[in-house]
Amino acid sequence: MKASWDIFCTVVDNFGDVGVTFRLARQLVAEHDMNVRLWIDDLSAFARLCPGADAEAPQQWCDGVRVCFWPKDWQPVEPADVVIEAFGCHLPPAQIDAMKARSQRPLWLNLEYLSAEEWVTGCHGLPSLQSSGIQKFFFFPGFRDTTGGLLREAGLIERRHGFEQDPAAQRRFLATLGIDPQPGARLISLFAYEHEGLGSWLTCLAQDQQPTHLLVPEGRIIGDVERWLGVGGLEPGALHARDHLTIQVLPFVRQEDYDLLLWCCAFNVVRGEDSFVRAQWAGRPLIWHIYEQDDDAHWAKLDAFLELYLAGLPDETGQALTHVWRDWNAGHDMTQCWNTLKKHWGELTSHAERWCLEQALQDDLTTALVRFYRNWL
């Protein structure tokens, strides 16, 4: 019999929580033949990721996943075999009671945020006894083989390689978004939070001899782009050129298409958690705009990732990328660090593919979760 899974997701803000949990849910269904219910407390964020979804529906099927609204006045349901609370969201107490009352106790997992910090290794997979008397296990995604790994669909890297070798498919995809780059223009995507220094980076791109076509999905960075362009009300489809830089605003696309967009670009600026991972699977150099935490804990996370990512690269290249990432995340002027980084472009490009292939040698997060469940049984 198929195992059943309940995944609970509260949308804190943005799209990462729902983006990660929906990706996981789909993969459990498509690759592991599981029955999955995904409980989301804000379906409007979900509907952005999954066009065609109904933001008002109490229940709906999306890619084989039963997507359910998680209401505040929770009525307990029969718990699944595996219950995942994503990112420390709190299960309704009545549901915990239902889990306790189930004749076959469910496996209760807390899926944590992604971090490259070393302490994660020591905590991954550890149980903790809850006041309810049930054990809860902590499951950490990560970049080392001592963690739960990263979300990666089967055949993803092979699909990317096929797409890269098919310029007609790339052109067709770009045309669906109304993108028609000048011959020789380098494509860069920009999905980031607000950034005070953005204008200095745009100026660098505009002054570069190599033309750049910058693709900007609608979202939080648009205000900074508008300020630099000196225009207001940028909407998807807007196209503006300044010297050697063309800026095009894109609609928010479905997750599968966002991958294709990353694959078409020579460089990607990404943020949060899920787009950060997707950009690594794209095998291109990137800037990570990390999600800012109140206690500044994000800086340790950024440095921990850089330490792993830069291992094996010459010091000068590593320093150049570190400066760019740190200056970006601090909202600083980007002129000097970006101009230095350009000297290392070729090396960073081959390194990005190498890193992707190395990471892809590890089991993906969904497979690791399924294995954890089977071993627990």
List residues binding ligand TRH (CB under 6 A).
12-17, 19, 49, 113, 191, 217, 252-255, 258, 271-276, 291
Catalytic entry in 85, 112, 224, 273? 273
C-beta of 276: minimal distance to ligand TRH in Å? Answer: 6
Nearer to ligand TRH, 93 or 251 (CB): 251
Nearer to ligand TRH, 284 or 344 (CB): 284
C-beta of 375: minimal distance to ligand TRH in Å? Answer: 28
Nearest to 211 by CA among 190, 249, 184: 184
At CA 226, angle to CA 222 and CA 232, rounded to 5? 105
Other CB atoms within a 10 A radius of the CB of residue 50 amount to 21
C-beta of 342: minimal distance to ligand TRH in Å? Answer: 25
Active site residue 307: no
Spatial strand order of the sheet with 267-271 comes to 239-242, 245-250, 212-217, 186-190, 267-271, 286-289
Active site residue 78: no
Nearer to ligand TRH, 288 or 309 (CB): 288
For residue 70, give both structure tokens.
């998680």
For residue 81, give both structure tokens.
């075999």
C-beta of 50: minimal distance to ligand TRH in Å? Answer: 8
How far is it, in rounded angstroms, from Cα 249 to Cα 240? 9
Residue 334, phi then psi, degrees to nearest 5: -100, 0
Strand-pair category, 107-111 with 82-86: parallel
Q: Which residues of 82-112 are buried (b: 16+ CB within 10 A; e: fewer)?
A: bbbbbbebebbeebbebbeeeeeebbbbbbb
* Helix ranges restricted to H, the chain: 16-32, 43-49, 93-101, 119-123, 156-164, 167-176, 198-207, 222-229, 255-264, 274-281, 297-309, 315-330, 335-341, 345-359, 365-376
C-beta of 92: minimal distance to ligand TRH in Å? Answer: 21
Nearer to ligand TRH, 60 or 317 (CB): 60
Nearer to ligand TRH, 98 or 250 (CB): 250
Residue 117 DSSP code: -
How far is it, in rounded angstroms, from Cα 95 to Cα 107? 13
Nearer to ligand TRH, 107 or 260 (CB): 260
C-beta of 77: minimal distance to ligand TRH in Å? Answer: 26
Nearer to ligand TRH, 224 or 274 (CB): 274
C-beta of 81: minimal distance to ligand TRH in Å? Answer: 26
Residue 2 identity (one-letter amino acid): K
Catalytic entry in 6, 17, 81, 274? 17
Catalytic residues: 17, 273
